[in-house]
Amino acid sequence: MKQEVIVRFAPSPTGYLHIGGARTAIFNWLFAQKTGGKLILRIEDTDAERSTEESIKGIVDGMKWLGITWDEGPYFQTQFINEHLAAAKKLLDSGHAYKCFCSKEELEDKRAAALKHKKDVKYDGTCRRLTRIEIAIKEAKIPYTLRMKVPSEEGSVSFEDVVYGTIENKYKDIEDFVIVRSNGQPLYLLSNAVDDIRDRITHVIRGQDGLSNTHRQILIYQALGAPVPKFAHMSLTLDPKKAKISKRKHGELVAVHFYKAHGFLPWAFVNFLVLLGWATPESREIFSKEELMEAFSLQGISRANSIFNVKKDDPKYFTDPKAISINAHYLREMPVEEIEPYVRAELEKAGIWDPEYENAKRQWFLETLELIRSRFHVTTDFVDRGRAYFSDDFPIESRALKKNISKHPQLEKWLPMLADRLEGLERFTTAETENVIREMAETLEIKPGVLINGIRTVVTGQLAGPGMFDVLINIGQRRVVERLRRSPALF
């Protein structure tokens, strides 16, 4: 019988979910979904200073927003400290680990000296060579750490990484690393391995920064007599300067919640993220959730790091242009009913949501979204660039004012005239309104564009938008007439 796949996402709570973490979570989730396995969420909170309620909530909220579901957890690493310590004792008893009495200061000095002389910085094994008696004496008065005893013979640790292939490290290049602090607290390398063993993790899918920890963890698995899971390391996400993205350096720009706040559709963002460092043989780009689960495979993960192309200080793109284009794609391609709740949330936030939009005006509301969405990139566009559709209180863009109004002072008279004519229309249709406007232009011997652009500015506040006659019908006779009538105030 085939073993069920169990994967985990094990973030340390450092404030919020950033895109690197989100990507790791997504890949684990996808793999679990694809294989019918399960995903465990485990918070590695052993660093008490960083692990606040708030930062844990940040991670959970981020995952929920993205739509990443997990089957077990969240578990907390601190709950299992006794297990970690029991494992450490087992390692000590079985001779796989030993007590080290070197003080922090001594070690730091040695490390600094080694670095200075450009020598190897590995632990020199002082305490590994202690006799039983020496240990007994020191034990009584000196606090000690526990170190893994890396085999001293010729040989190596090697494993098949699912994405990087065979990775081999010689024993002699691995130092005797600490697994328990002198205050008795277990360290990450140990805790993580013990937790993965307990949770019966079959595949460790994590960032490539874990690649150089892997051989040490395998040593722990082996010493504990536990089966070694499969490892799949994913390439990292870098910034345009090829530096690892970090909260410190990039702040909000790399936080998942930033994208929520800036009008991203969660699935569009997932779709974008999964494309950073992963591809199908056809380089397919747009996937529904079901399609992505079907198409996903660990083999598609690329080995080379990818760049999250945030263009700081680029007025045109507040984040990676590809992310925006994918979001815009979804915004105009999804069934309007599906973007409705997101737009509603924006309107509510802006205080211009009309409850009738879900009742009597629902049809109008959906038609409006359909009408304007093709030129929007993010859902927040609906409340700024699209404000005039939902509220009578909207700003007039200065560029539009200049180009379409100020240039033609006579519009001060023409627009109200148009209001009268439009008001007189019995059937307020695209054909009728177009007729009226074109006829009037003819009589005045001006280009229809002068009137049309003037109307556009006064009615929508914008320089550009959907076909004017469609807009007129959408806004409605009464509101159009009103807006045209009050236009002389602009002159």
Partner RNA sequence: GUCCCCAUCGUCUAGCCAGGUCCAGGACACCGGCCUUUCACGCCGGCAGCAGGGGUUCAAAUCCCCUUGGGGACGCCA
Least distance in angstroms from the C-beta of 1 to RNA = 28
Q: Which of residues 176-235 bind RNA (CB under 7 A)?
A: 177-178, 181-183, 185, 187-189, 208-213, 235
Residue among 167 and 369 whose Cβ is closer to RNA? 167
Encoded one letter per residue, x for contact with RNA by CB under 7 A and - for no contact, window 347-376 reads ---------------------------xx-
CA end-to-end span of the chain, whole Å? 80
Residue among 61 and 470 whose Cβ is closer to RNA? 470
Least distance in angstroms from the C-beta of 243 to RNA = 6
Encoded one letter per residue, x for contact with RNA by CB under 7 A and - for no contact, window 60-99 reads -----------------x----------------------
CA–CA gap between residue 141 and residue 475 (Å, rounded)? 84
> Torsion over CA of 265, 271, 273 and 275, rounded to 10 degrees?
-150
Is residue 302 at the binding interface for RNA, with CB under 7 A as the rule? yes
Is residue 291 at the binding interface for RNA, with CB under 7 A as the rule? no
Residue where the block lists tokens 């974008």: 272
| Closest-CA residue to 224 (of 336, 87, 392) | 87
The amino acid at residue 462 is Q
Residue among 14 and 353 whose Cβ is closer to RNA? 14
Residue among 34 and 138 whose Cβ is closer to RNA? 138
The size of the interface with RNA (CB under 7 A), counted in residues, is 91
DSSP of 318-335: SS-HHHHHHHHHHHHHS-
CA–CA gap between residue 176 and residue 100 (Å, rounded)? 10
Q: Is the separation of the CB atoms in 268 and 330 below 8 Å?
A: yes
Q: Which of 115, 136, 261, 360 binds RNA (CB under 7 A)?
A: 115
CA–CA gap between residue 183 and residue 409 (Å, rounded)? 81
Is residue 121 at the binding interface for RNA, with CB under 7 A as the rule? yes
Q: Which of residues 122-161 bind RNA (CB under 7 A)?
A: 122-123, 143, 145
Is residue 275 at the binding interface for RNA, with CB under 7 A as the rule? yes
Residue among 119 and 413 whose Cβ is closer to RNA? 119
Q: Which residues have C-beta within 8 Å of that of residue 477, sequence separation ≥ 6? A: 422, 423, 425, 428
Encoded one letter per residue, x for contact with RNA by CB under 7 A and - for no contact, window 418-447 reads ------------------------------
Residue among 255 and 357 whose Cβ is closer to RNA? 255
Q: Which of 53, 153, 168, 445 binds RNA (CB under 7 A)?
A: 168
CA–CA gap between residue 188 and residue 81 (Å, rounded)? 11
| Closest-CA residue to 422 (of 446, 440, 408, 410) | 440
